[in-house]
Amino acid sequence: MGLAGLQRVGIFASGGLDEDEIARLISAGAPIDGFGVGTDMGLSRDAPGLDIAYKLVEYAGRPRLKLSPGKVLLPGRKQVFRVERDGVAEYDVIGRRDEDPSGRPLLRPVMADGQRLVEGRVSMEDARIRAQHEVARLPPRIRRLDPTEQPYAVGTSAALAHDGDALRRQLEQEQVYR
């Protein structure tokens, strides 16, 4: 019996898995009960895929934080601010949604109270034009397929970093008293 009194806990693995990786894990004797395959299931090997994960950062108006080592999570609702010079992006800053912008805000709401917003309704042509415009504002070194120069900088605002540290300390303190 485990420390929590559990007789049996199933292990479910997911994230970047394909048939070759699953076979390797099984051959290695990994104690995995089930596998989740998403990205590679709907794509062919020669088509690019996007591997993403959903992380809960706020619930019922309160910020949430994951404390797993090596998995940095910034709590609360956020905004991405793009700092530009002469119409060309220099760097981005991830900040709190309610911060005064230190650059041009990039995220726009498209839903509110379960309803699509009027400004969230754009045609495919309008979306394509906007995307082309935004890509053109990136530095040429970033637009290359094989960027060899300095990577594009993305930082965290001081206020957002402070919120994360404060919530982490609070949660760690609560764990001490349990």
**Successive 10-residue mean pLDDT values, the chain, 178 residues:** 65 84 92 81 62 78 79 86 94 92 86 78 86 93 75 91 89 71
Torsion from C-alpha of 21, 26, 27, 30, nearest 10 degrees:
110
pLDDT at 143: 83
DSSP 8-state class, residue 4? T
Q: Is 75 in contact with 57 (CB distance < 8 Å)?
A: yes
pLDDT at 68: 72
Q: Is 68 in contact with 90 (CB distance < 8 Å)?
A: no
pLDDT at 10: 85
C-alpha 5/C-alpha 1 separation (Å) is 6
pLDDT at 24: 92
**pTM of the shown model:** 0.66
